[in-house]
Chain A
Amino acid sequence: MTSTIPVLWPEDIKVDVQTPLSILRVQAENLGRLTRGVLQGEVESEEGDVYFQHRLVVVAPAYGGYRHTILVALHKFHMPYPCEVRSESLSYEGEIGIGFPSAVSEEQLIRLVRKALTSDETKAAMSSLIANSISQQSKQ
């Protein structure tokens, strides 16, 4: 009898899904290496009664420790997905104001984070922080 009932689960269920926090931590850890230490990445997490937010913060140590939140991942406390990704380049005008997209899987989240980090807005912010840091270092 059971053999006639099809398996309805999708074939592409992954068994090694990473959390938004893990994905952001990897980006933070690699920022220092990619900018030869001029910029550093940090992930700051805050919890509410329903939501968790993880912020990817770019820090410019030579520029007075300036801190710029470049991306925010927001999800429910016990459910890492769906995860809303807030970044300037991902914002859109929704029916009730500014909205941001959500990812329901690791792949979607990686796609959104990549889009945000390679956007012109992020590049401009990073270029500014690097330029200001170098300018500050040359003054000292």
Chain B
Amino acid sequence: MTSFLFWNVMGKDLRPLIAEAVRIHDVDILMLAESSVSDKELAASLISITGQPFEAISDARDKVRVFSRLPKNLWIRRQTDHLSARMVIWSLNIGPGILVAVTHFLSKKNVNEGEQSMLAVELAKEISRVEDAVGYQRTVRVGDLNMNPFDAGVTGAQSLHAVMTKRLAARMERQVQGSAYRFFYNPMWGLFGDRTDGPPGTFYKRSPGVIELFWHMLDQVLLRPTLMDSLAELRVLDSIGNAPLLTEGAAIPNVSIASDHLPIFFRLELE
């Protein structure tokens, strides 16, 4: 079993909380967006709290900082784009071997939805190219997409083409206007709203506009169909140990003690 934790930490120094989450959930791979702490300091904190040999995997310009207690020689960097989609793809030689694509997209404050979709097309295309190069499609895509599961950049065939059920994704790909596009399975759909355990989304926003969803699922894990049955657990965390990540009254992300995003935790059965 391999466990992953992704968190957009809003530029805050949340080392004690992060390290505690890693310890409690026995995390193998930690991914942080908007981290303001140096990799060295963060790795030291992880080692100190967990007693595990965590190391930074990212290079200096990567938007998402990746730390792992798995040996560094299992990670092979396969793709880099710091200039537009702000993404990195690694192959990770555990179990049958998987690809890990990590990204932190620009938000709608900085680009419009059309530009986000364009970057999603790039992301999808680069993932497919790398899958073709390594010869398998066991890909997990993780990160802050700054889009919801229903946005065009996530659902579009040329984009990430991520669908809400395993049954749909099991078709592997879909022909659209003569071209085949690979599916992703998006399990985040199942965590939306208040009819399931856990918080209604990963990010809360209240704006004065006519249309406002309030809860958004900006942080997402997507799985290729060949990997979707490996998903043993997926949760949006609303507490870390005794520390609640939501406010007491409104039950929205408590930015005074943590981040405006909630962490996502998942485990894959890869052996």
Residues of A within 8 A of B (CB): 44, 46-51, 53, 55, 64-69, 71-72, 74, 86-88, 97
What are the residues of chain A within 8 A of B76 when measuring CB–CB? 64
Return 20 A-B CB contacts under 8 Å, by A number: A44-B125, A46-B118, A46-B121, A46-B125, A48-B114, A50-B112, A50-B115, A55-B122, A64-B76, A65-B130, A65-B133, A67-B78, A67-B79, A67-B129, A68-B79, A69-B81, A72-B83, A86-B83, A86-B84, A88-B83
Q: Is B72 among interface residues, defined by CB-CB distance under 8 A?
A: no
Q: Is B139 among interface residues, defined by CB-CB distance under 8 A?
A: no
What are the residues of chain B within 8 A of A66 when measuring CB–CB? 77-79
Q: Is B126 among interface residues, defined by CB-CB distance under 8 A?
A: yes
What are the residues of chain A within 8 A of B110 when measuring CB–CB? 97
**Interface extent on B, as a size class?**
20 to 34
Report whether B80 and A64 are in contact in the complex, using a CB–CB cutoff of 8 Å. no
Residues of B within 8 A of A (CB): 61, 76-84, 91, 110, 112-115, 117-119, 121-122, 125-126, 129-130, 132-134
Q: Among A48, A64, A68, which residue has its beta carbon within 8 angstroms of that of B115?
A: A48
Complex Cα distance, B61 from A53, in Å, reads 21
Report whether A51 and B114 are in contact in the complex, using a CB–CB cutoff of 8 Å. yes
Complex Cα distance, B119 from A44, in Å, reads 12
Q: Which 5 A-B pairs have the closest CB atoms?
A: A65-B133, A49-B114, A48-B118, A69-B81, A48-B114
B76 nearest CB neighbor, chain A only: A64
Complex Cα distance, B113 from A71, in Å, reads 23
Complex Cα distance, B81 from A71, in Å, reads 9
